[in-house]
């Protein structure tokens, strides 16, 4: 029976009802001793009359009362059948909310949970209704207050309710259907990781405004919690990765402590993008008569980017994302919103003989007004002076507090002709076709011939051999030796060159399975500040993912994506992370997004095909295989497509595709045949060809596919030994 105004519970006088709590009714009351308002939660009669349960409840309440945390609603006192709580004026947590505000509140909730977990207290019923949002008088910012800490495990079942998916469930299964962890839904023993799952569901709803797990009944919601992944969030990839990791079905795949969650949130919110000085440098337009200076204009923009990255406190969008807007008619604000920057640098070059004119404009993205503009007329030999001058002018216009030392530059300036050849080689490298790779090699060798002490030209030549070996254009052993020679020569010139250390790390991980050496070289590559996003991505995709540190790989790839959100390779590697983490449906969406940007990006289609194979979706796999057939004749792709057509019933087509690689003598054929037999379900043959591939020093492509298939199987000890992985 509801309590009337004026009713007294000891020294507490009821003022008015506040509503139903998870455990009985909650009232606003007056503490007549201390002259303050409090909240009184009156326990169900059956609970209050059960002496044993009441004793355990009072012990738990004392533990919670010892928690003194600014984001936990304080428990002041406990009486026979009731709790005395801090009275908090606020609104129930609701989404959707701006990312910055959501991350700030999530950080507060995580801190509260962390404090409770340290005292051995689990919440067990974390949901938006148990979080109040208040607004301080001196600040416009809101503050989270967590309610009902540690009491949910003792709650009684509600008799009915219109929205049972958000009502507390008691008995063998304790919690709230839409927010409980899978192990909680199954009535298993719980630890802190269960609260982490519920936290992920709350943050998901805070960001999206919808529940992560929906349904018309408790049974449907519980089924979704156990089996389904929520729809993708429209938030920055690092934040989406954090929420997805919290919502992993298996506790071992989540963050293991709330301290880890809080630290990850703090890293995300260390300096919000909309407040931090930030800039994107768009590719300079080529206004030359023949429009044949793209290599030069791209190189100029890239050098400006490199110079700006050394300025403390300035966020600089990576080259790939900024250059994705080449030739697209989009307004500055749209570009800035996509790249999450406040300012845009755009410009043009015009070359006539040995004279060069460069124009540059710095634009405030919010209002479209020019902050600064300048024109430079120079002889072509002044290219490096032009780059330095533009970078200095931009930093002055942004009024950023600079360090005492000027932006770091390459220790040695190459001659102009060598630098031009190097830029042309880089431009060809990005196209990743056999013809363009052949041209890139010619340009890198030309740059070295013109200036033998140009470190990045040597590293570029090594990158060519890595790409050529990946496309089976050259024997692997020869390519690896050429890569190693090029990297070592580059390091003789510049011992800290990140590109060269990354190249050696890729040799160690991709061909030699020397994981200790790979980690050491990646560490050296990432020791140079600021850490390049491609270094983080390579570390995540070619080391962490390969050795089974899947969640760590996701963190590094997500950080690379945060700096370079439109980089197709980074997006591809995010998809391979999702696949390795067992999140196949999300991986499919990621690879489809990649192909929506570039339909000709074969790696995206290969990995989309891979996930369809893993899901036994053979019509979808057959469709993607048909798309690939005319694009990539390498043994690996021919073998993989042959496997798909074989499983789809098109045996004649499968045999025709496999014929060129059947004897296994072509470069890359052994790993291709291993993939073929794996797709066909012929595991023993797949292992046999994998062993041959390792013995032949072939690149073991698609290792996450192999790991997903073999870890835990009877074949795994043998494969782990082959690849120097933990058995």
Is the pLDDT score of 270 beyond 90? no
Alpha-carbon span 726 to 720, nearest angstrom:
6
- Please say whether the beta carbons of 603 and 628 come within 8 A: no
Least confident of 88-97, 170-179, 611-620: 170-179
What residues contact 336, with CB distance under 8 A and at least 6 apart? Answer: 280, 342, 343, 344, 365, 366
Class of domain 1-87 as given by CATH: alpha beta
pLDDT attached to residue 223: 92
| Average of per-residue pLDDT values in the chain | 80
Q: Kindly report the CATH number that applies to the domain delimited by 278-402.
A: 3.40.50.10610
Q: What is the per-residue pLDDT for 171?
A: 41
- State the pLDDT at residue 249: 92
Classify residue 170 by its DSSP letter: -
Q: Give strand pairing partners of 168.
A: 176
Residue 28 pLDDT greater than 80, yes or no: yes
DSSP 3-state percent helix, strand, coil across the chain (nearest 5)? 50, 10, 35
In 616-666, the DSSP E strands lie at: none
Report which of residues 263 and 593 the model is more confident about: 593
Q: What percentage of the chain exceeds 90 in pLDDT? A: 16
What pLDDT is stored for residue 649 in this prediction?
82
What is the share, in percent, of the chain residues with pLDDT greater than 70? Answer: 82
Where are the domains positioned within the chain? 1-87, 89-270, 278-402, 410-531
Task: Give the model's confidence band at 203: pLDDT under 50 very low, under 70 low, under 90 confident, else very high.
Answer: very high
pLDDT of the residue at 403:
37
Q: What pTM value is reported for the model?
A: 0.54
Per-residue pLDDT at 388:
65
Name the CATH code of domain 89-270 (choices 1.10.4010.10, 3.50.50.60, 3.40.50.920, 1.10.510.10): 1.10.510.10
Q: Which residues pair with 169 in a beta bridge?
A: 175
| pLDDT for position 161 | 40
Q: pLDDT class for 271, splitting at 50, 70, 90?
A: very low
Place of tokens 């019933």: 649
Nearest alpha carbon to residue 426 among 454, 465, 457: 457
Question: Distance of alpha carbon 418 from its chain centroid, rounded?
Answer: 37
Length of the chain equals: 727
Q: CB-based contacts of 106: which residues, under 8 Å, 6+ apart? A: 199, 202, 203, 206, 265
| E strand or H helix at 21 | none
Residue 127 binned pLDDT confidence (cut-offs 50, 70, 90): very high
Q: How far is CA 302 from the centre of its chain?
A: 25
CATH of 410-531, one of 1.25.40.10, 1.10.630.10, 3.30.70.20, 2.60.40.420: 1.25.40.10
Identify the weakest region by mean pLDDT among 168-177, 237-246, 537-546: 168-177
CA distances from 698 to 118, 557, 669 (A): 49, 25, 9
Which residue from 638, 667, 666 is spatially nearest to 654, judged by alpha carbons? 638
Q: What is the pLDDT of residue 60?
A: 63
The answer on pLDDT for 272 being more than 50 is no
Per-residue tokens: 144: 């989270």
Is 153 a residue whose pLDDT tops 50? no
- Mean pLDDT, rounded, for 441-459: 92
Mean pLDDT within 507-514? 86
Asked if pLDDT for residue 461 goes beyond 90, the answer is: yes
Q: Residue 394: its pLDDT value, please?
A: 65
Least confident of 314-323, 329-338, 649-658, 694-703: 694-703
């Amino acid at each position: 029976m509801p309590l009337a105004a004026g009713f007294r519970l000891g020294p507490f006088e009821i003022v008015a009802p506040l509503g139903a709590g998870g455990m009985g009714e909650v009232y606003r009351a007056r503490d007549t001793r201390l002259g303050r308002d409090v909240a009184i939660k009156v326990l169900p009669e059956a609970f209050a009359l059960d002496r044993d349960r009441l004793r355990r409840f009072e012990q738990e309440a004392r533990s919670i009362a010892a928690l003194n945390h600014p984001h936990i609603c304080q428990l002041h006192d406990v009486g026979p059948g009731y709790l005395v709580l801090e009275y908090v004026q606020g609104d129930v947590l609701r989404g959707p909310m701006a990312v910055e505000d959501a991350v700030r509140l999530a950080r507060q909730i995580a801190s509260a949970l962390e404090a409770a977990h340290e005292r051995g207290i689990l919440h067990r019923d974390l949901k938006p209704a148990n979080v109040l949002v208040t607004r301080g008088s001196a600040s416009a910012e809101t503050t989270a207050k967590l309610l009902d800490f540690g009491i949910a495990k003792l709650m009684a079942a509600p008799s009915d309710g219109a929205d049972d998916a958000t009502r507390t469930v008691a008995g063998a299964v304790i919690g709230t259907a839409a927010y409980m962890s899978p192990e909680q839904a199954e009535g298993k023993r719980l630890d802190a990781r269960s609260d982490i799952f519920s936290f992920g569901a709350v943050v998901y709803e805070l960001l999206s405004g919808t529940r992560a797990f929906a349904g018309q009944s408790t049974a449907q919601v519980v089924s979704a919690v156990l089996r389904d992944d929520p729809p993708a969030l429209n938030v920055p990839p690092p934040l989406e990765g954090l929420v997805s990791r919290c919502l992993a079905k298996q506790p071992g795949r989540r963050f293991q402590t709330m301290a880890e969650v809080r630290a990850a949130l703090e890293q995300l919110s260390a300096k919000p993008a909309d407040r931090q000085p930030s800039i994107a440098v768009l590719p300079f337009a080529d206004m030359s008569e023949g429009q044949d200076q793209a290599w030069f204009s791209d190189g100029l923009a890239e050098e400006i980017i490199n110079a700006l990255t050394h300025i403390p406190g300035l966020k600089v969008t990576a080259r790939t994302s900024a250059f994705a807007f080449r030739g697209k008619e989009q307004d500055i604000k749209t570009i800035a919103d996509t790249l999450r920057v406040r300012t845009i640098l755009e410009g043009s070059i015009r070359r006539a003989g040995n004279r060069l004119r460069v124009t540059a404009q710095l634009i405030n993205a919010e209002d479209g007004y020019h902050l600064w503009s300048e024109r430079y007329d120079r002889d072509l030999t002044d290219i490096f002076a032009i780059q330095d001058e533009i970078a200095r002018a931009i930093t002055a216009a942004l009024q950023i507090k600079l360090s005492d030392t000027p932006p770091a530059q390459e220790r040695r300036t190459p001659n102009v002709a060598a630098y031009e050849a190097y830029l042309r080689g880089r431009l060809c490298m990005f196209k990743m076709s056999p013809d363009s790779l052949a041209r890139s090699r010619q340009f890198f060798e030309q740059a070295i011939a013109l200036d033998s002490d140009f470190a990045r030209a040597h590293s570029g030549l090594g990158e060519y051999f890595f790409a050529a070996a990946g496309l089976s254009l050259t024997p692997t052993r020869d390519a690896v030796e050429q890569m190693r020679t090029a990297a070592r020569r580059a390091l003789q010139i510049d011992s800290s060159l990140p590109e060269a250390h990354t190249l050696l790390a890729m040799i160690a991980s991709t061909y030699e399975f020397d994981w200790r050496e790979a980690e050491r070289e990646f560490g050296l590559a990432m020791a140079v500040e600021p850490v390049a996003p491609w270094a983080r991505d390579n570390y995540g995709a070619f080391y962490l993912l390969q050795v089974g540190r899947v969640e760590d790989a996701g963190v590094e790839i997500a950080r690379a994506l945060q700096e370079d959100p439109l980089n197709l390779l980074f997006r591809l590697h995010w998809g391979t992370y999702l696949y390795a983490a067992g999140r196949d449906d999300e991986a499919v969406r990621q690879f489809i997004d990649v192909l929506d940007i570039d339909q000709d990006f074969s790696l995206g289609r290969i990995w989309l095909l891979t996930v369809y194979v893993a899901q036994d979706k053979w019509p979808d796999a057959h469709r993607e295989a048909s798309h690939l057939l005319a694009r990539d004749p390498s043994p690996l792709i021919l073998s993989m497509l042959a496997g798909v057509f074989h499983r789809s019933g098109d045996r004649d087509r499968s045999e025709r595709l496999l014929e060129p690689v059947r004897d296994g003598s072509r470069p890359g054929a052994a790993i291709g045949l291993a993939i073929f037999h794996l797709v066909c379900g012929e595991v023993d043959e797949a292992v046999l060809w994998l062993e041959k591939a390792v013995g032949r020093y072939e690149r073991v492509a698609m290792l996450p596919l192999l790991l997903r298939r073999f870890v835990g199987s009877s074949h795994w000890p043998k494969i782990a030994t082959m690849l120097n992985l933990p058995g």
